C-alpha cells in the first residue's frame, strides 16, 4: 500500500541514499545492511510533523521517553549480527519498529518485545500496514521469549545494566547476542557468541549511548 502515510517520494529516496552513503563512510561494510537501510523508508517510523529529521544520522524521540536509534547505531548492531536469510531473530526494545523492519528486510523472521504499552500498540498497528511482518510482543525483554526460543540472533536496543542470562540461554549453538552494556554513563557494544561446545565468547566493540533498559515489569 502506498497511500497516505506510507508514501516514498524521490526526495525521500534521495535523502536515504545520502544517509546510507554517510553510514558507509563511518565504516559500515556489510552490503546486506546497507541495502536494507536504503530500502526501508525511515520516515515511516516518524510522526508526520518530524519527517525532515528522518534522514539525519541522529537518534530522535518517539514518545514515552524513548528514541529511534541513530542510523549508524542500527547499522553497526545489525552488522555485528551477521544476519543470514531465514535467521530467527529476537529484538528487545521494539520502539518505533525501525530496527525490526531492517532485519525483516534482510530476510529474517523477527520477534520483537517492548515493555511500554503505548509503543507496543503503535508498532503492532503500524508494522503490518507498512508491509513488515514482525511478531510483536508486550512484555519484559529481560526474560527473552522462552516460548519461541532458541534464536539464531538476539539484539537488545536499550542500554543493559548486565547481560541477562535468560537471553544467552535462548541462543542456538553458533548464535550471537548483540547488547549495549552499561559502563558509567555510556554503553559498551558487546557480542556474546554461543560456541558449538556450549561455551560463550564475549567481545567488545566500542562505546555508544542508548536509553536505559528498564525494570522487570512491563509498563502501561
Ligand atoms: N529498536 C528501537 C529503538 C528503541 S529504544 C527502534 O528501532 O526504534 C529502546 C526501546 O527499548 C524503548 O522502546 C524501550 O521502551 C524498550 N525497553 C526498555 N527496557 C525494556 C525491557 N526490559 N523489555 C523490552 N523493551 C524494553
**pLDDT tens string 139-196:** 999 999 999 999 999 999 999 999 999 999 999 999 999 999 999 899 999 999 999 9
Q: Enumerate the active-site residues.
A: 69
* Dihedral Cα 130, 135, 136, 140, nearest 10 deg: -150
Q: How far is CA 122 from the centre of its chain?
A: 16
Distance 214 CA to ligand 1 centre (A): 8
Alpha carbons 188 and 182: distance in angstroms, whole number: 6
The protein residue with its alpha carbon nearest to ligand 1, atom 10, reads 93
pTM metric for this prediction: 0.96
Taken in order of first residue, the domains within the chain and their CATH numbers are: 59-208 (3.40.50.150)
Distance 99 CA to ligand 1 centre (A): 11
Alpha carbons 90 and 72: distance in angstroms, whole number: 20
205 and 183 in contact (C-beta within 8 Å)? no
Q: Residue 140 to residues 39, 90, 112, 169, 193: CA-CA distances in angstroms? A: 30, 13, 11, 16, 22
CA atoms within 13 A of residue 28's CA, in its CB half-sphere? 26
| pLDDT tens for each residue of 75-103 | 999 999 999 999 999 999 999 999 999 99
Amino acid at each position: 500500500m502506498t497511500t497516505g502515510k506510507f508514501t516514498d517520494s524521490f526526495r525521500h529516496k534521495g535523502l536515504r541514499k545520502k544517509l546510507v552513503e554517510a553510514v558507509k563512510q563511518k565504516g559500515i561494510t556489510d552490503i546486506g545492511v546497507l541495502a536494507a537501510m536504503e530500502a526501508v523508508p525511515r520516515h515511516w517510523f516518524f510522526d508526520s510533523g518530524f519527517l525532515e529529521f528522518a534522514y539525519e544520522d541522529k537518534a530522535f524521540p518517539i514518545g514515552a521517553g524513548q528514541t529511534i536509534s541513530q542510523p549508524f547505531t542500527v547499522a553497526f548492531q545489525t552488522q555485528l549480527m551477521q544476519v543470514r536469510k531465514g535467521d530467527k531473530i529476537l529484538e528487545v526494545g521494539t520502539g518505533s519498529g525501525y530496527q525490526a523492519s531492517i532485519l525483516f528486510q534482510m530476510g529474517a523472521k523477527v520477534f520483537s518485545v517492548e515493555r511500554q504499552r503505548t509503543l507496543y500498540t503503535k508498532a503492532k498497528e503500524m508494522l503490518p500496514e507498512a508491509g513488515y511482518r514482525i511478531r510483536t510482543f508486550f512484555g519484559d525483554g529481560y526474560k527473552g521469549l522462552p516460548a519461541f526460543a532458541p534464536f539464531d540472533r538476539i539484539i537488545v536496543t536499550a542500554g543493559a545494566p548486565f547481560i541477562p542470562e535468560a537471553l544467552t540461554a535462548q541462543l542456538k549453538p553458533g548464535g550471537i547476542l548483540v547488547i549495549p552494556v552499561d559502563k558509567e554513563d555510556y554503553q559498551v557494544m558487546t557480542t556474546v557468541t554461543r560456541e558449538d561446545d556450549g561455551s560463550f565468547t564475549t567481545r567488545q566493540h566500542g562505546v555508544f549511548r542508548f536509553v536505559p533498559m528498564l525494570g522487570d515489569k512491563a509498563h502501561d
